[in-house]
Amino acid sequence: MAGESLQRLVEGIRLYNLLPGSRLILSGGTAFGDITSAEVMKQVALEVGVPENDILMEPDSMDTKDELDRKMTVIDLKSKTHSYCYVKKQLMF
């Protein structure tokens, strides 16, 4: 893992650490043989201290639109107690 993917992961972990009670959503399909990008990012996050129960996985997305559509099924949009921040190259919301 390197480049923009690593930068996004670092920013996601930074935000996770700044926001008590937050969770980290990791996504990305197969990019490393049989291992998904999401799994590689999960291993890095675990190594720097993010607890496994604070990590949500979405390993099947094919592109950015698919990734966002799939994330909507992973998170509870009806929750009034959670906020979400999506870290993407030159885009955060």
Note down pLDDT in tens along the chain; length 93 residues.
567 788 889 989 999 999 888 888 887 777 667 888 888 889 999 999 999 999 888 777 666 566 666 666 656 655 556 656 666 655 444
Does pTM surpass 0.85? no
* Burial 2-33, CB ≥16 within 10 A → b, else e: eeebeebbeebbeebeeeeebbbbbbbeeeee
CA-CA distance, 88 to 93, in Å (whole number)?
A: 9
